[in-house]
Structure 1
Amino acid sequence: MREHDLDAVLALNNAAGRSILALDASQLRYFYEHAEYFRVAEIDGHLAGFLIALREGGNYESPNYRWFAEHYPQFVYIDRIVIANTYRRHGLGRIFYCDVHSYAEVRVPLLTCEVFLEPRDDVVLLFHGTYGYQEVGQQRMGEHGPKVSLLARDLPSYAYVRDTWLEHGGLPDLPWLAERERPFLHDSTPRRLAGERRP
């Protein structure tokens, strides 16, 4: 994700329909500055889709993120994935999910997300089921908001990575294991390095 992509990402997000909550520019800027995982897909120079995911320990006020924070000490939370209509059925959703899985399994024991149950979309539920996600709860987003299914996928490789690297100095210094480079936050806190344990 690059800063000059922000306008295109915002437009794509807000054209996605009822299944994706709308964003304003400041909300998207929050993701740009704080999301540990924020990747875009390009096809022939055009933005084809994006996925945003966050680690535990953030101050993100999403009720679904907060639910996972209250129930699990470590996780990567998929906040949203959007594929442009023109590029659907190209397998981009599967590519994104494989990529975020690869990112998460060397950092946390759990990958989480939610899917809307109102309106219910059996194709989306089936998609997540085929990737090993299990329902761990349900809730309504606000007093009158839609009901969601809260999903989690165990990442069994994490225990090996934790015991071999994370507890012994961190992940190897390899490009594919590097953390996303994010702008410094307003309080001048530097970004977390790959494998660095949180206080």
Structure 2
Amino acid sequence: MALAIRDVREHDLDAVLALNNAAGRSILALDAVQLRFFYEHAEYFRVAEIDGHLAGFLVALRNGGDYDSPNYRWFCEHYESFVYIDRIVIANAYRRHGLGRVFYCDVTSYAEVRVPLLTCEVFLEPRDDVVVLFHGTYGFQEVGQQRMGEHGPHVSLLAKDLPSYAFVRETWLDHGGLPDVPWLAERQLPLLPESLPRRLAGERRP
């Protein structure tokens, strides 16, 4: 089984939209305009491919963006600097194979060299104990709860401290920025040429 985690490409968007909207009640539906917003503005938008098939995706945004999600806005009001996981979706055929942890390792690696905090929310209505347990074992702590609008679902707002960030900030960010290497590139920078090898899940990073 060949697994690759890579930045989303424009030709992936139709498949990503279909995957998102087939995920069930635990994932909010999207339309093409909303998905295009993520493509153009999300600093982290990556997909998993298994043997060339789209197996899942994760979207995350930095603080300070123009995104009207009530959960994202809650974190903006309470924290100065963070990466917010908006959604992760795994195709039915590839669930229970550890792809969620692969994605969370990858987004953590992205976030910990840029911000001190990784955030997200989990639905409490309907409550999924597997999802709650997953986030707890991955180091997330509840920092608040809220209802998404007057009649929206009740959610638990979660945050995970990224202890590596202090070292990165003192060593690089306070002295000119991160090293110029591909895996540290921001989402808005040009994607790697197709001829370069993709980063495989579990690849050891410098």
Q: What residue in structure 1 maps to residue 49 of structure 2?
A: 42
Q: What residue in structure 1 maps to residue 187 of structure 2?
A: 180
Q: What residue in structure 1 maps to residue 101 of structure 2?
A: 94
User: Residues 56 and 69 of structure 1 are in contact (CA less than 8 Å); yes or no, is this contact kept in structure 2?
Assistant: yes
RMSD: 0.9
Secondary structure at 2:29 match in 1: coil
State the AA in 1 paired with 2:24.
G
Deviations 1:13-71 (CA, angstroms, capped at 9, x unpaired) = 00000000000000000000000000000111111000000000101000000000000
Q: What residue in structure 2 maps to residue 23 of structure 1?
A: 30
Cα distance in 2 for partners of 1:96, 1:130 equals 15
User: Residues 12 and 84 of structure 1 are in contact (CA less than 8 Å); yes or no, is this contact kept in structure 2?
Assistant: yes
Q: What residue in structure 2 maps to residue 143 of structure 1?
A: 150
TM-score, length of structure 1 as denominator length: 0.90
Stretches of structure 1 lacking an aligned partner (at least 5 in a row): 184-199
State the AA in 1 paired with 2:73.
R
Shift of 1:103: 0.3
Question: Among residues 40, 63, 67, which one is paired with 1:33 in the alignment?
Answer: 40
- 1:106 and 2:140 correspond: no
Secondary structure at 2:143 match in 1: strand
Displaced runs of 4 or more, over 3 A = none
Question: Among residues 84, 93, 108, which one is paired with 1:77 in the alignment?
Answer: 84
Q: What residue in structure 2 maps to residue 194 of structure 1?
A: none
User: Residues 110 and 154 of structure 1 are in contact (CA less than 8 Å); yes or no, is this contact kept in structure 2?
Assistant: yes
Shift of 1:182: 5.6
Cα distance in 1 for partners of 2:40, 2:187 equals 10
Higher relative contact order (CA 8 A, sep 6+): 2
User: Residues 33 and 182 of structure 1 are in contact (CA less than 8 Å); yes or no, is this contact kept in structure 2?
Assistant: no
State the AA in 2 paired with 1:32.
Y
Which deviates further from its counterpart, 7-16 or 86-95? 86-95
Cα distance in 1 for partners of 2:119, 2:56 equals 20
State the AA in 1 paired with 2:45.
F
Stretches of structure 2 lacking an aligned partner (at least 5 in a row): 1-7, 191-206
Cα distance in 2 for partners of 1:176, 1:26 equals 28
Secondary structure at 2:97 match in 1: coil
Cα distance in 2 for partners of 1:7, 1:182 equals 22
Q: What residue in structure 1 maps to residue 73 of structure 2?
A: 66
Q: What residue in structure 2 maps to residue 10 of structure 1?
A: 17
C-alpha spacing 1:153/1:78, structure 2 compared with 1 (3 Å): same
Secondary structure at 2:48 match in 1: strand
Cα distance in 2 for partners of 1:20, 1:81 equals 8
Q: What residue in structure 2 maps to residue 195 of structure 1?
A: none
TM-score, length of structure 2 as denominator length: 0.87
Q: What residue in structure 2 maps to residue 53 of structure 1?
A: 60
State the AA in 1 paired with 2:77.
E
Secondary structure at 2:61 match in 1: strand
Cα distance in 1 for partners of 2:31, 2:50 equals 25
State the AA in 2 paired with 1:12.
L
- Indicate the percent of aligned positions where both proteins have the same amino acid: 87
Shift of 1:144: 0.6
